[in-house]
Amino acid sequence: MEVRNPAPPPIPAGQSGRTPGTLQRNIRIPPLPPPPDQHHPEPHDFYWKRVGNTDCSATCGKGFWQPVFRCVSRSSQEEAGQEKCHTAAKPP
């Protein structure tokens, strides 16, 4: 007489034969979406350009000079009024 093992009971839908806490290794992870476009602010139309220096405060010894800046158009490189450079920080 031949003894047969009974067939295992069917696994209910939505459940696997794994014990709780077992990781599933053969899964597909969808790719990440592309990062959002970063907004780059438009460059200022005007900027402070160094155009030279003041005269030295002393003709000899330990005098000093100061840099001179002018507001300039980016497109034409022409000097403009200081009010045009209100959005750009003036160098010290």
On whether residue 33 sits in a domain, the answer given is: no
| Domain total of the chain | 1
On whether residue 77 sits in a domain, the answer given is: yes
On whether residue 54 sits in a domain, the answer given is: yes
Confidence of residue 14 (pLDDT cuts 50, 70, 90): low
The whole-angstrom separation of Cα 47 and Cα 75 is 11
Instruction: List Cβ neighbours of 60 (8 Å cut-off, separation of 6 or more).
Output: none
On whether residue 64 sits in a domain, the answer given is: yes
Q: 22-46: buried (b, 16+ CB within 10 Å) or exposed (e) per residue?
A: eeeeeeeeeeeeeeeeeeeeeeeeb
* 2/35: higher pLDDT: 35
On whether residue 66 sits in a domain, the answer given is: yes
Query: What does the pLDDT look like over 24-78, one tens digit per residue?
Result: 677 788 898 888 877 655 567 899 999 999 888 887 778 888 899 999 999 999 9
On whether residue 56 sits in a domain, the answer given is: yes
* Domain that includes residue 54, residue range: 46-85
Structure tokens given for 77 = 């490189």
